[in-house]
Structure 1
């Protein structure tokens, strides 16, 4: 048994089951959308996926903590919405009973579902075993029919040890190049749906998302960049999430003329980890904004285990030990290890002129 083998299996099966739930919601015109205090949207899919994943974690690792994006107070007041989510959760099963058993079987009651959602209330930190969970990363992409990801990572004493990303709208084929329109008008039809995984020190893999047990995995690696001017550049769709202007200036200084690929969620991390893209930048748009750990923990590990380097805009490793946010970091620069230093130099040069 390899180190963290059980954690990896539980995480992969839990994320796979949660993606089945999100796919059901993805095809509905009405997604039960609410607005949170920070004006960001949340759907019945977010709540349902969080319940399923935290239930699986607590069934297998009852003493572990979870930093989850959602909480259930609105559902305790809105019984109609609560019942919608419960119906979704009850209907979502893996087709393989042995796989279902590994992740703890079905959630027994509505109250247990609400308690599971609320169990994502860990403050995070530098001690112990803490999972970082984003049940639907890229909710705006999810709502507009673009890319989204179900994201889960285990941190031990602040260091990410296991990372899993479920990306239902990315192609299974690791060699499929990214098209400029990959962030819009997507489907989860045949040939789509990939599960990216990594364990610290053991490399990164991809496998097709399925409906039962886990499919066959294969190792993934970042693509060597022989000519950086030919690199494929990934960035967020939302200008409020990342500075498109700064990123355009950086691309220009690197000699990159290809149109950047804009997509929501940690699907960007998975895409560059398997060589479909090359560089991912997320540069701050506000001096006070702090990235959330659940938006980066799984992707950070997967890219590094695939041969990449991930730092902030000052060259510091992302620090997941400071609580629920990357309080000590500014932005994200992810690229193949061989060219990361050059990309970072240009990032610093452009940001220094601001």
Structure 2
């Protein structure tokens, strides 16, 4: 089915509004799942998809080499591991987007300070060179280091914050990345315009088509393709959330299938039937809902006043991906005094969930403010924490949180 026959078959309302369409999967073939005239930032989204696809290939290559050798891992001051892949993805995205959109700066997680003091810069250069669109150009280590730093803390020159900028998490879930193919990690890229997230792309090379131990949330039929590995999810404001498969990740090559599938959040309306995700660093007992429900990881033995807690590792973006694809109903994150919540851990997930029909707020029901960090646009301050849901159970959870806070 080409894009023109798709557009004539479904109304514009069905195209741009997830809630106007029945929760049924359909596919089409196109470089993007909607035509340019429906998407103001179509060119930017296509560039974002292209570079995230390349970044996923870089991650797969580096992951293979990490388990074949040693010495490819650093420990940052915040005690989180950083690999050649983190630096390589940031350099790759910075270089590719910088060529196409030189006036749009990048806000990203890494800077080259640690890399400059280690022998890994050559490995990063090799990884980036293998994936970048160079033509007749060649890259040096200094080129790569400068590209990384364009996303660092000094991304906005002279203290001015532009109205439009990219937000990148090179690898969300690095600890999962270091565990190999069994854990999820995400390359996440979003574009912010005048404080609004207008598009997002998430690449998850280890996504499996069938999660036998993570059953589909109630009311949501399984639309995944069995035996396929890896997924890329895209969202554009007003155009919905879509995903397609990544497969054949062999020999440093990522073959991209052009079959896009529309994503919808699940239709669960009852809290005790909802499937929950929480931060890997937090326990269910530390969260306010634990006063009403206990939790279990076993989908076959969910008792009265129990909820199913999905054992998903690692990072926040894979939880957003689960909610946006209808595999989970809720992602619950509590803000802690000693932990800084970064914009790149949430930006792309927010638009993917919103465009799939879900809702994202802080614990008081307010939208997450990406502009609260007026200088660097790197930190967000959600009151209480972050609440990501299918929309149906959002109000119920906010009411419980309100009562809980008043008791405390």
Counterpart position of 1:147: 184
Question: How much has 1:260 moved relative to structure 2?
Answer: 3.6
1:84 maps to 2:123: yes
1:198 maps to 2:235: yes
For 1:8 and 1:237, locate their aligned partners in 2 and report how far apart those are by CA, in whole Å: 30
1:324 maps to 2:378: yes
Question: How much has 1:51 moved relative to structure 2?
Answer: 0.7
For 1:4 and 1:125, locate their aligned partners in 2 and report how far apart those are by CA, in whole Å: 23
For 2:75 and 2:352, locate their aligned partners in 1 and report how far apart those are by CA, in whole Å: 31
Q: 1:228 aligns with which of 271, 278, 296?
A: 271
For 2:285 and 2:177, locate their aligned partners in 1 and report how far apart those are by CA, in whole Å: 21
For 1:352 and 1:26, locate their aligned partners in 2 and report how far apart those are by CA, in whole Å: 47
- SS of match in other structure, 1:34: strand
Residues 148-197 of structure 1 show CA distances to partners (whole Å, capped at 9, x for unaligned) of 10010000111111111111111246xx56629xxxxxxxx961100011
The alpha-carbon distance between structure 1 residues 136 and 217, as it changes in their structure 2 partners (threshold 3 A), is same
8 A Cα contact 1:126 1:158, kept in partner: no
The alpha-carbon distance between structure 1 residues 157 and 307, as it changes in their structure 2 partners (threshold 3 A), is same
For 1:18 and 1:305, locate their aligned partners in 2 and report how far apart those are by CA, in whole Å: 24
Counterpart position of 1:135: 170
8 A Cα contact 1:282 1:331, kept in partner: yes
8 A Cα contact 2:245 2:256, kept in partner: no
Q: 2:293 aligns with which of 252, 260, 267?
A: 252
What CA RMSD, in Å, does the superposition of the two structures yield over aligned residues?
2.7
For 1:157 and 1:105, locate their aligned partners in 2 and report how far apart those are by CA, in whole Å: 36
Counterpart position of 2:88: 48
For 1:106 and 1:331, locate their aligned partners in 2 and report how far apart those are by CA, in whole Å: 46
Q: 1:67 aligns with which of 89, 107, 110?
A: 107
Gaps of 5+ in 2: 1-35, 216-225, 248-253, 296-304
Q: 1:23 aligns with which of 60, 71, 75?
A: 60
For 1:352 and 1:31, locate their aligned partners in 2 and report how far apart those are by CA, in whole Å: 50
Counterpart position of 2:200: 163
Residues 63-115 of structure 1 show CA distances to partners (whole Å, capped at 9, x for unaligned) of 1111110011222332x21111112222236xxxxxx58xx897633221111
8 A Cα contact 1:165 1:195, kept in partner: yes
Counterpart position of 1:219: 262
Counterpart position of 2:392: 338
Bigger radius of gyration: 2
For 1:307 and 1:259, locate their aligned partners in 2 and report how far apart those are by CA, in whole Å: 22
8 A Cα contact 1:159 1:321, kept in partner: no
Counterpart position of 1:287: 337
With normalisation by structure 2, the TM-score equals: 0.75
Counterpart position of 1:37: 77
The alpha-carbon distance between structure 1 residues 278 and 178, as it changes in their structure 2 partners (threshold 3 A), is farther
Larger displacement relative to structure 2 (248-257 or 310-319): 248-257
Q: How do 1:286-305 and structure 2 match up within 5 A? A: 286-287=336-337, 289-305=339-355
For 1:119 and 1:92, locate their aligned partners in 2 and report how far apart those are by CA, in whole Å: 19
- SS of match in other structure, 1:209: strand
Residues 28-53 of structure 1 show CA distances to partners (whole Å, capped at 9, x for unaligned) of 22361112222222111100011111
With normalisation by structure 1, the TM-score equals: 0.85
Residues 189-215 of structure 1 show CA distances to partners (whole Å, capped at 9, x for unaligned) of 961100011011111101112525562
The alpha-carbon distance between structure 1 residues 157 and 250, as it changes in their structure 2 partners (threshold 3 A), is farther
For 2:389 and 2:306, locate their aligned partners in 1 and report how far apart those are by CA, in whole Å: 14
The aligned length equals: 332
1:278 maps to 2:315: no
8 A Cα contact 2:166 2:191, kept in partner: yes
Gaps of 5+ in 1: 94-99, 181-188
